[in-house]
Structure 1
Amino acid sequence: MDIGSIAGIIIGLIGLVVGAWQNRQRVSFEQLVRANNWFNLQQASNSNGTLQLALDLYKQKHSNELSTEVLEQLSRADAFGQCVTKESVRQIYLFEPSFTKDDISAWEAEGKISEALKKVFLQLAEKEKK
């Protein structure tokens, strides 16, 4: 074998090692993104639920003297929270390897999503995923 052949083999082996390492990095990154998406959805859902409870509590405690300014701000916060929740669902849709009605039913059975959130998930599942 000449030097050119040996160098080619070495470069090829290095390329294989680098390719395998990059693939492991990509898989790890995808897993991290998916985990973060589910975490963000959980936090957004918790925040929305807490805000809605606070809104109901405010209405109960101050039913005689409701402030339209407070109600308006609480309603805006709720709308923003709903938007963040929907974006979290969209991120899950984009990064999960499978996003079918069966997957959504399984996620509901596992307790990952609520019945209310299932509706948002199903809206995306009906779209064709590219």
Structure 2
Amino acid sequence: MVKLKKKKDLEEISAASMSDIAFLLLVFFMVTAVFFVKEGLNISLPKKNSEPVSFLRKNVYEILVTQDKFKMRNPSFGTKEYTDLKEFRNELNKLEIQDLPNKLALIVTTGDTKYGKMLDALSSVQLRGFEKISVRKMK
């Protein structure tokens, strides 16, 4: 006599608790993750009712940032034009500027100036030691 084996039904794994496990893992990784925060521009804005500050023209170093060049203007040396950032930084560092905390660096950009190029000019001016910096868009 031949005995036939009865097929056993395979039991399925219950997936009811999978969503709970996925949620707990998600919460775990969110809590333990480290988020890097990049520091933005450190800007101190004027007080609400403060008076406008005025500077003598000789104390203002105007830096025009365009798409392809940097221009720096001051009554003491006139206007100088630079084609790249390295040349601009070198010349800015060579300038002998007396009483630097009382000088103003005015960065002027055009409408088509890239954001990174304006930030390059801003960081160059900060590295040079200017404490009073203003940024405006050319009309």
Between the two structures, name the one with larger relative contact order (CA 8 Å, sep ≥ 6): 1
Q: Which has the larger radius of gyration?
A: 2
The structure with the greater share of residues assigned to helix is 1
Q: TM-score, normalized by length of structure 2? A: 0.26
The structure with the greater share of residues assigned to strand is 2
Q: TM-score, normalized by length of structure 1? A: 0.27
